[in-house]
Amino acid sequence: MPLSEWSGVVKILAVAAALNLTAALLPAQAQQGAAVLFQNVRIFDGRSGTLSASSNVLVRDNKIAKISPAAITADAAQTVVIEGGGRVLMPGLIDAHWHAMLIRPTPAAAIAGDVGYNNLLAAAEATDTLMRGFTTVRDVGGPSFGLKQAIDDGLVPGPRIYPSGAMITVTSGHGDFRQRSELPRTIGGMLARMEQVGGSMVADSPDEVRVRVREQLMQGASQIKLTAGGGVSSPFSPIDAVTFTEPELRAAVEAAENWGTYVVAHAFTPAATQRAIAAGVKCIEHGFLMDDATAKLIAEKGVWLSLQPLPEELRQGLPEGSVERAKADEVWPGIGKAYEFAKKYKLKTAWGTDVLFSPALAQRQGAILASLVRWYTPVEALAMATGTNGELLALSGKRNPYPGKLGVVEEGALADLLLVDGNPIENIKLIEDPARNFLVIMKDGKIHKNLVTGGRPN
């Protein structure tokens, strides 16, 4: 099915379930246009290392209208008042390396499975993602345009999605999931199944790269994802391989910059990372095998480093003796070193999870964030997943699908907020149990969860 029809598939197949789900999750308080007043909350603003004194926060429509230590008198006729009781109000969490369409299916089902069913799986996972307190994700590979539209249209509760569209790769590169039986590729011929569903696209020249980049932009990509080096999950992509040539990478960067946005590049090794930076890539994903010289280069060029504290269970879940397990064994020791380089050179560091094909691991999204305390303080980790990730999202410029500030609690910012039962900058483990500890989840000014007793209209 052409990718252009995916939006319709999501809407037609998901509407009945979504309406029932929305009725269960969204109380009358969540209607658009209503004002919400949080009283007596201590604010973690997404940047500061300390909480505010007792404050009041007024949300009107989808933005934070006023923050004051003094009482706020709301002028809306039906203002919802939430008594914070001294609890912590913080920004919604942001996952900067997510694959919305690739969490629940198996690898085979993601490519060969029924498109409609896969969209329904992704919609269910999107709702779970939101209810874990993740109000925004940057999707760095997969056909998530239809899912994004369904969420934005209110058909399915879910996070804001910054979509990259299909990963762009080279023949035998990371993201090329074709079998040898599908070779040789016919230039200008039929697309492979992975390309038909919009998972990844093969481009083996600067001209082909430009076409594939522009196709993603035409569909609404907020940034472009290329795989500049080998990867763990791709069967024919050695870790040490440097895939795109510099002219190919430059073609992608030029096409993206012509649209006012940027390119992110999957890269592990120094060679892949350095070539991507030379071509003008603005964000390196992973960088786990970088060396000191590469870390210095990232700092000098002001390039973003998007890191993920991949859990050990992910590596151990790969079959012993498999090519994928051998590659994971090569990569995993570099994760800690990459974080050490990031701290040493004060790199602009984003946080994400990179969960693939594991709904169980996705449920531990908050725990993966909390694991950053191996290298950072709790407040540094939380700031990375809120204010810092929000700065990264802003690189999309006019291609930003959600103009406005994200990841912060300040006047004028978009109202994505969590009310936490406890102090997460003292006990970051609170975010590991969102069902218990996130009492209120608000996205875009709408309440998707409210367990606070005493919330009432004025």
Please indicate, yes or no, whether residues 136 and 168 belong to a single structural domain of this protein. Answer: yes
**Binning pLDDT at 50, 70 and 90, where does residue 32 land?**
low
Residue 342 structure tokens: 């990031």
Least confident of 108-112, 277-281, 397-401: 108-112
| Domain identity same for 254 and 192 | yes
Query: What pLDDT sits at residue 183?
Result: 87
Q: Are residues 163 and 140 in the same domain?
A: yes
Task: Give the tens place of pLDDT for each residue, 115-150.
Answer: 999 999 999 999 999 999 999 999 999 999 999 999
Q: Which of 336, 358, 375 is the last residue of a domain?
A: 375
Does residue 20 carry a pLDDT above 80?
A: no
Residues 67 and 139 placed together within one structural domain of the fold: no
Q: Are residue 203 and residue 279 in the same domain, yes or no? A: yes
On whether both 98 and 73 belong to a single domain, the answer is: no
Residue 234 covered by a domain: yes
Q: What is the pLDDT of residues 197-246, one digit of tens each?
A: 999 999 999 999 999 999 999 999 999 999 999 999 888 999 999 999 99
Q: Looking at the predicted structure, is the pLDDT value of residue 6 above 80? A: no
Side-chain-side CA neighbours of 153 within 13 Å: the count stands at 17
In-domain check, residue 11: no
Burial call 29-63: b when 16+ CB within 10 Å, e when fewer: bbeeebbbbbbebbbbbbbeeebbeebbbbbbebb
Residue (of 263, 143, 243) closest to 193 by Cα position: 143
Peptide bond into 206 cis (omega under 30): no
* Residues 371, 416 share a domain: no
Is residue 138 in some structural domain? yes
The C-alpha atoms of residue 1 and residue 22 are separated, in whole angstroms, by 28
Pair 128, 78 in one domain: no
**CA distances for 453 relative to 81, 131, 369, angstroms:** 11, 19, 29
Residue 346 belongs to a domain with what CATH number? 3.20.20.140
Side chain identity, residue 200: S
The reported pLDDT for the residue numbered 251 is 98
pLDDT in tens, 444-457: 999 999 999 654 43
pLDDT digits (tens, 9 = 90+) for 148-193: 999 999 999 999 999 999 999 999 999 999 888 888 888 777 899 9
Contact 167, 215 (CB under 8 A): no
Instruction: Looking at the structure, tell me whether residues 102 and 247 fall in a common domain.
Output: yes
The pLDDT of residue 318 is above 90: no
Which residues span the domain enclosing 126? 94-375
Does residue 338 surpass a pLDDT of 80?
A: yes
81 belongs to a structural domain = yes
- Residues in Cβ contact with 313 at an 8 Å cutoff, skipping those fewer than 6 apart: 361
CATH code at position 441:
2.30.40.10
Q: How many CA atoms lie within 13 A of 120 on its CB side?
A: 14
What SS3 class is residue 48? coil
3-state SS assignment for residue 217: helix
Residues 249 and 154 in one domain: yes
Q: 177 and 262: one domain?
A: yes
List Cα–Cα distances, 284 to 244, 294, 329, 368, in angstroms.
Answer: 14, 11, 21, 20
pTM, entire model: 0.92
Task: Tell me the CA distances in angstroms from 423 to 42, 245, 413, 418, 426, one per residue in order.
Answer: 9, 48, 22, 12, 6
Angle between helices 115-131 and 145-152 in degrees, nearest 10: 50
Residues 71 and 173 in one domain: no
Domain count, the chain: 2
What is the Cα–Cα distance from 408 to 410, expressed in whole angstroms?
A: 6
Q: Given this model, what pLDDT does residue 77 score?
A: 66
In a domain, 370, yes or no: yes
Question: What pLDDT sits at residue 4?
Answer: 42
